[in-house]
Structures are given as structure tokens and as C-alpha cells.
Amino acid sequence: MAALVAFVGLNAGLAFAAADVVDKLSIQKIIKMKIERTEDGIYNLKVLVCLSNKGKNTVRIRDAEVGVRLEGGGEKIKVGTTRFPEVELARADPDGVPSTKDVEFTVELGGSSEETVGRMIALFNMICNPKNSPAMLLGGKGVVGIKVERGWVYQDGVSVDLKFVPSIQREVLVP
């Protein structure tokens, strides 16, 4: 019985530790967004973001399925979902300067359907209109690892919602 209580206490402690670690992660900036069409006629949104970690632990995120949304001007656009690549973010330096890592991911928008074309037009309208103040939201579930002295401690099923509101929208537009 004591072992069960210790195990439950350890899991609860890991959940709080994962929450504290995730709280130190953010999207520092959106570097680029680009729509590409594959040979199969599928449209993909390629996104390059800079993630930052201002925490005291090195963090690893893996096996994450992430939904991508844009919100602004009273509209919400569900862009799609992606399988996030495994990412390791070093801990912040001793002076508190966050570590950063550029991460690229691809979201499938769909084929040449009316729905896909309408969504792409809505994306362009939202990003290009400065009155909209668009925000990118990444939300999903995955495995979060925390670096410890002898290896890694992982917590599965951690949900993450990160939000970024660019101060200068024109920086993310790519011809």
C-alpha cells in the first residue's frame, strides 16, 4: 500500500513539475509561413517558429500532435493538425536569458477543394489586415521530458496551448 501511495504521489509530483516546465515555454516569434502545393495537388502550410525556454530545466517534447489555429478580428480559423517534430530546448542560462530553438512544421491544408481555397483566402485576409491583430495558437498533447542528473523523466499526455501575437505582422509574410 505504501508503494502505491508513493507511486501516486510521484505521478502527481511529475504532473506539477511538467506544468511548471511547460509554463516556461513560449513561441518567441513566427519566422515564416508559406503555402506550398505538392505534386499530388495538396496544399501545405509550412511554418517556422522560434520556441523559447526560460526555465531552469532542459525540456524535450516528443510524440506531440498539435492543432494550429489563427484568431483575429473576431474570426477563428482552424488551420489543421500536425505531428510536431521532437524538440529539445536547453535550459535558460544562469542570467535568466531564455534558450531558443527554431522549429519547422507542416500543416496539411487539403486539396483543391472549395473549402481549402476558402480557408487559404481567410488566412491571407487575416494575416494581411493589421486591424485583425492575428494570434497563432498551437495546442496539443504529447510527451514532455525534463532533464535530470542521471537522464530524463517523462510525463505522457501533457496538454499544451501556446499563443503568439506578433507585434509586426509583415515579418511573417513570405512571397
In the prediction, which pLDDT does 10 show? Answer: 43
Residue 85: count of CB within 10 angstroms of its CB: 12
Dihedral sign of CA atoms 51, 54, 60, 66 in order: negative
In the prediction, which pLDDT does 166 show? Answer: 65
Cβ neighbors of 83 (< 8 A, separation 6 or more) are 64, 65, 66, 105
In the prediction, which pLDDT does 22 show? Answer: 72
In the prediction, which pLDDT does 129 show? Answer: 77
In the prediction, which pLDDT does 7 show? Answer: 36
In the prediction, which pLDDT does 17 show? Answer: 61
As to burial, measured by CB atoms within 10 angstroms (0-12 exposed, 13-18 middle, 19+ buried), residue 8 is exposed
Q: Say what the pTM is.
A: 0.76
pLDDT, tens digit only, all 175 positions of the chain: 443 333 334 444 455 466 677 778 888 888 888 889 999 989 999 988 888 999 999 999 999 999 999 888 888 999 999 998 899 999 999 998 999 999 999 999 888 788 888 888 888 888 777 777 788 888 899 999 999 999 999 999 888 787 877 655 444 444 4
**From CA 27, how far away is CA 166, in angstroms rounded?**
10
